[in-house]
Amino acid sequence: MVNKVNKNEISRDSINLLISLFQTGDYKEAEILAIKISKKFPTDLMCWKILGIIYLNSGKVSKALYVNQKALKLAPNTPDINNNLSVTLNNLGRYAESISYSKRALEIDINFVQAYGNLVDSFKALKKYDDAYIYIKKAINLDPYKVEFHASLADLFYRLGKIDDALITYKYAIKLNQSYYPAYINIAKILNDLERFDEAINIYKKVIKIKPDLAITYYNLANIQKKVNKLEDAITNYKKGIQINPNLADAHYNLANTFANIGQYKEADFSYEKAIKIDPNNQKFWSNRLLNLNYNPNLSNQYVFNQHKLFAERFSILNKNDKKERIKNTRLRIGYVSADFRKHSVTYFFEGLLKNHNSNFVEIFCYYNNYIIDETTELLKTYCENWRSIFEMDNKDILKLIKNDKIDILVDLCGHTPGNKLLIFASKAAPIQVTYLGYPNTTGLHTMDYRLTDKYADPDKNSELFYSEKLIKLNKCFLCYSGNNKISHNKNIPQNKNNYITFGSFNNFKKINSNVIKTWTNILRSIPNSHLILKSSENIFDINFLLKKFFDEGIKRENISIIDRKINTQDHMKLYDEIDVALDTFPYNGTTTTFEALWMGVPVITLSGNNHRCRVSASILENLNLKNLISYNSTDYQKTAVTISKNKSYLLNLKKDLREILQNSNLCDSKSFTREVEEKFFDIYNRKN
């Protein structure tokens, strides 16, 4: 064991102690001693050199820059000093300068192999892959058995899209050193990209055997296990990664997402809070936590509202300019912000609004925050005068873009769902800001002026207590559906073919909480030989875990089926031909699924509650004059399901006529709907002027 530094005895012999401390990895004591030596002997090159490496290894890059510059002044013609400065500049992202010092090291010593490796890293960062390839080949020629060089070449192949070459080269690196775990990790990442998940999982397990104390390995392994719905294994490995590195925020966050996917709301929220505590300015962590609070049936409206207000408090610092200069435009300029201008449930309700805006009075801007461009995206573009892609744009640039577009009313279509740009709204990007459609709750932001809803989803003044926004209530429904007439539906009820009643719910499985399961199982037990079909648009749930919950309530395997495969829209819609009655989830109702069922002639039984997220289906059914399908407690919900299922003539009439009823209602009248929305927008605009 190395003796501790004697503070009172600093001599040139102390350099031997410094070297010993450095070589044994006692960087803290080595740093203390090196600083003392440098003060007494400021021209001692070895002291400055070791101190520079210590700072680099400990992530103190700015200090490393200062120290390595001092060392270079003492020995400008030393290759390793030039290269150390090059490595430091590379870490600071100053790649052009880094390259110049690596090349200077090679001018001094053409065989100084470390400089080649650093040159390669800098050229990769600048995406100058041809130059990187030249220098990595030179490095390998000089030292053909250095495993890091072969791994660097493999990484270069990967960046160039030469996946097979990358895999071959990583495997060669492993031949040189069976314990070189970075090569295994990179192979696993490639296999994951190729969706060869089982192979990737096996590779990560090998890494764990080689280096069991590496937190990131457990994290990466858990991410793949979560992706393939091995959720219990994922939870185990997230926890192992966190045990090694408690400050791995992403592990806490993804553990929370996994708990949420299996309905363990309390555990999920605990892990979200852990992630936020470690990284309090990560908006994604905040938004996903708030989104998942909506699934929990055990939380009060006041608690959920308070949590949304905490989000506003955290990010309110962004609002440096609440007041904007009003610019008079010839037409009202409305900007819509979303990550869902694609094949997504939001577009079923947004398309009609966008298509029917009156271009004589309104000028539309769409700000799209996603890389996916599909047929739906292209269709929406044809209805929009000004299309803006903001994906991967810096928030400052987005704010500048919106300001230059002179937007009067900016509309958020995401809320706290993935891909949202709420920080733009927190910065008060437009004089008037509205949230609508994509999220069944408040944003929490005091900079969000209004929320678009209706008198059924938010019927009384008490509901306004739990919004940071003022409510704009439409006279009918806040939704307008664009159905697909190309998809036909069977005019007969499946009960006639099966000789038993079939219930179904195609809602997100995260909405199926214990109260829902208990209610549904009571319905199934009340009707002999009745069946239940479940399907989720998101295949992020452990099917066996869900099935067990039903089995525990006494439901037999043959009476329940879960569709756990991805199917196209046509096949998804045709599944409604297999069910007689749709069962809505609560307290988080369906929206798209409710409309889909009605479109296919299937009645939807809903339980209306005391907030927006559990009144959406009620709003839809009220507008269709199907109040008999709305219940207000679980007992009535069960009675309604039993009563409706026994009334074959009623079900048959709905199967034949419900689509036409829906089409002829205000729920599909996009022209009238758009006129009312525009009237509301002009009204709030004129209030400001």
Q: What is the 3-state secondary structure (H, E, C) of 148-169?
A: HHHHHHHHHHHHCCCHHHHHHH
Contacts of 612 (CB under 8 A, 6+ apart): 440, 441, 453, 457, 458, 463
- The answer to whether 456 touches 475, Cβ cutoff 8 Å, is no
Residue 303: which of 286, 321, 290 has the closest Cα?
Answer: 290
pLDDT of residue 142: 96
Confidence of residue 5 (pLDDT cuts 50, 70, 90): very low
pLDDT digits (tens, 9 = 90+) for 22-40: 788 787 888 888 888 888 8
Residues 677 and 437: their CA atoms lie apart, in Å, by 12
Query: What is each CA distance from 306 to 269, 442, 567, in whole angstroms?
Result: 15, 10, 39
Question: Minimal CA–CA distance to 395: which of 310, 250, 283, 285?
Answer: 283
Average pLDDT of the segment spanning 395-416: 97
Q: Determine the distance from the C-alpha atom of residue 523 to the mean position of all C-alpha atoms in its chain, rounded to a whole number.
A: 36
CATH code of the domain occupying 317-474: 3.40.50.11380
C-alpha distances in angstroms, 682 versus 318, 331, 334, 480?
Answer: 28, 11, 10, 20
CB 655 within 8 Å of CB 601: yes
Q: What CATH number labels 1-75?
A: 1.25.40.10
Give the predicted TM-score (pTM) of the model.
0.89
H helix runs in 316-467, sequence order: 347-356, 375-382, 395-404, 422-426
Task: Find the largest Cα–Cα distance for the chain.
Answer: 101
Tokens of 392: 């991967």
Question: For tokens 């400021």, what's the residue?
Answer: 42
Q: Which residues contact 118 (CB under 8 A, 6 or more apart)?
A: 83, 86, 87, 90, 98, 102
CA–CA dist 136, 153 (Å, integer):
6
| Alpha-carbon span 394 to 410, nearest angstrom | 18
- According to DSSP, residue 392 is labeled T
pLDDT at 8: 45
By three-state DSSP, how is residue 405 classified?
Answer: coil
Kindly state the helix (H) or strand (E) to which residue 433 belongs, with its residue range: strand 432-435
**For the segment 506-527, what is each residue's pLDDT rounded down to a tens digit?**
999 999 999 999 999 999 999 9
pLDDT category of residue 92 using cuts at 50, 70 and 90: very high
CB 414 within 8 A of CB 421: yes
* Burial class of residue 270, CB neighbours in 10 A (0-12, 13-18, 19+): middle
Rounded Cα gap, residues 62 and 58, in angstroms: 11
- Best CA proximity match to 262, nearest among 496, 513, 622: 513
Give the residue among 612, 564, 563, 559 at the shortest CA–CA distance from 586: 612
The two three-digit tokens of residue 284, written as one number: 């994604």
pLDDT score at 50: 85
Task: Label residue 384 left, alpha or beta by phi (over 0 means left) and psi (-120 to 50 means alpha).
Answer: beta
**Domain 494-668, what fold?**
Rossmann fold (3.40.50)
In whole angstroms, how far apart are CA 113 and each of 75, 90, 474, 608?
A: 19, 17, 71, 71
Look at 328 and 47; give whichever has higher pLDDT.
Answer: 47
Q: Which residue has the higher pLDDT, 367 or 26?
A: 367
Residues 6+ apart with CB under 8 A from 591: 345, 440, 479, 616, 617
Whether residue 459 contacts residue 323, with contact meaning beta carbons closer than 8 Å, is answered with: no
Site of tokens 């997504």: 344
pLDDT at 89: 96
Residue 420 CB neighbour total at 10 angstroms = 26
Please give the Cα distance from 327 to 526 (Å, whole number). 64
Tell which residue, 206, 200, 201, has the closest CA to residue 174: 206
pLDDT value for 592:
97
User: Which residues on neighbouring strands pair with residue 604, listed in sequence order?
Assistant: 582
Q: Mean pLDDT for the chain?
A: 93
DSSP-assigned beta bridge partners for residue 586 = none
Q: Do domains 317-474 and 494-668 have the same CATH topology?
A: yes
* Domain map (residue ranges) of the chain: 1-75, 317-474, 494-668
Per-residue pLDDT averaged across 105-121, rounded?
A: 95
For 154-194, the pLDDT digits (tens) are 999 999 999 999 999 999 999 999 999 999 999 999 999 99
By C-alpha distance, which of 610, 432, 576 is closest to 504?
576
| DSSP string for 264-323 | -HHHHHHHHHHHHHHSTT-HHHHHHHHHHHTT-TT--HHHHHHHHHHHHHHHGGG-S---
Q: Tell me the Ramachandran region of residue 149: left when phi exceeds 0, alpha when psi lies from -120 to 50, beta otherwise.
A: alpha
Higher pLDDT: 411 or 326? It is: 411
Lowest mean pLDDT across 178-192, 312-326, 404-418, 514-528 = 312-326
Q: Considering only 6-15, 26-35, 309-318, which range has the smallest mean pLDDT?
A: 6-15
Rounded percentage of the chain residues whose pLDDT exceeds 90: 85
Residue recorded with tokens 């094949």: 343
Is 517:634 a contact under the CB 8 Å cutoff? no
Alpha-helical regions (H) of 499-633:
514-526, 543-552, 569-574, 592-599, 616-623
Instruction: Return the higher-pLDDT residue of 535 and 462.
Output: 535
Averaging pLDDT over each range in 225-234, 430-439, 679-688, which range is the top one?
430-439
Confidence at residue 2, expressed as pLDDT on a 0 to 100 scale: 43
Token digits for 525?
Answer: 């037990």
- Residue 540: pLDDT over 60: yes
582-620 pLDDT, tens per residue? 999 999 999 999 999 999 999 999 999 999 999 999 999
